[in-house]
Structure 1
Amino acid sequence: MPTRGDAPPPPRRPQARTRLARAAVVEAARQLFLERGYGATTVDAISTLADVPAATVYRLFSSKVGILRALLDVSIGGDDEDVAVAARPRVRALTEADDPGEQLAGFVGLTVQINTRVAPLYRVLVSAAGTDPDAAALLADLTRQRQEGQRVIVRALGRRGALRPDRRAGEAADLVHALLSPEMYRLLVIDRGWAPERYERWLRETLADQLLAPP
């Protein structure tokens, strides 16, 4: 029988257990979605691999597309914190930076990191969106969020008078959206074999040339 000094540690709080369960489900879903595809993966299979009861999985995520959304959120943010990328300190610091070139380079670096984490899952989502209306709605929502986030940097450059005089804000946002897209990352890094560092350097140079006014 343990003495007072040898008392066992207190049980984990419900919030901590919930976070562990969410993390286990998300990681199991990542493995199965990449191995089998979205359509062939069932919630029961995720539940079994995660060792989390199916009822708990549905309580935490509501549906299979809810699990995919959570998985993408973790991959985009790089952690399980419930904070949008645009509201994170690093992004806020970039929008407030004094040097337009520093703003653009920092935004490019952040996007390349996100695309590196998300690229395999983005292909799963695009494939699922072709047959699943809920996945299609998720894809549309994530695309909208990405566009809104990209407009933040364009507006920041515009406020400083850093955009080329012949480049309208809407056109600048279109260029950012296309060049920083997961599709462009996949085309050059995955399909054509560019190193992420080369891709990032090319993006910095190309966007600076296309967006920034001459010094």
Structure 2
Amino acid sequence: MEATRQAIVKAARQLFSERGYFATKVDDVAALARAGPATVYAVSGGKQGLLRTLTETSTTDPTIEATIGSIEKLDDPSAILRLVAATVRSMREQFGDIMRVLLNTAPHDKAVRESLAIATTRYRNAFVPIAQRLMDLGVLHEELDLN
């Protein structure tokens, strides 16, 4: 069942990226994943569920926590900024297609707008411990705060 779920999510990602969210039908996802439409609904909850799953995948990737963990051990601000830049670039390369779908769809769909808001909050919150580490190292202006 997990292999079927992964095939469905992969198919949705491909089709959402190529065609857009609205032009992609559940039947198209099912055909590409070699599953029935009923299976797509049962496994994912349909298109909205698939996009939520893709959003979750991109915003909870283990790379984020690993990077934050590494930053907490670094004492060189330049090394921290290089690591953050490399991670952000990698994440954008890996998940940029998902974010483009969210950004293009959100103005027209309330549920997708909510998913985008969650993704944006998670993205911003990931920078708080990075800023805190830089603050702890004394390299940020004193008048800055983390709120």
TM range (shorter): 0.7 to 0.9
Matched, 1:158 2:135: yes
The answer to whether the Cα contact below 8 Å between 1:72 and 1:118 also exists between their aligned partners in 2 is no
Q: Name 1:27's counterpart in structure 2.
A: 10
Displacement of 1:57: 2.1
Tell me the distance in 2 between the aligned counterparts of 1:133 and 1:85: 29
Q: Name 1:66's counterpart in structure 2.
A: 49
Displacement of 1:125: 1.1
Displacement of 1:85: 4.6
Q: Name 2:145's counterpart in structure 1.
A: 169
Larger Rg: 1
Unaligned runs of 5+ in 1: 1-16, 174-215
The answer to whether the Cα contact below 8 Å between 1:129 and 1:139 also exists between their aligned partners in 2 is yes
Q: Name 1:108's counterpart in structure 2.
A: 85
Q: Name 1:46's counterpart in structure 2.
A: 29
Amino acid at match of 1:50: A
Q: When the two structures are aligned, how many residues end up with a matched partner?
A: 147
Q: Secondary structure at the match of 1:130?
A: helix
Deviations 1:96-121 (A, max 9, x none): 21222211210111001111222233
Percent identical residues? 30
Higher helix share: 2
Tell me the distance in 2 between the aligned counterparts of 1:65 and 1:84: 23
RMSD: 2.2
Match of 1:36 among 19, 24, 28: 19
The answer to whether the Cα contact below 8 Å between 2:55 and 2:115 also exists between their aligned partners in 1 is no
TM-score by length of 2: 0.85
Amino acid at match of 1:67: L
TM-score by length of 1: 0.61
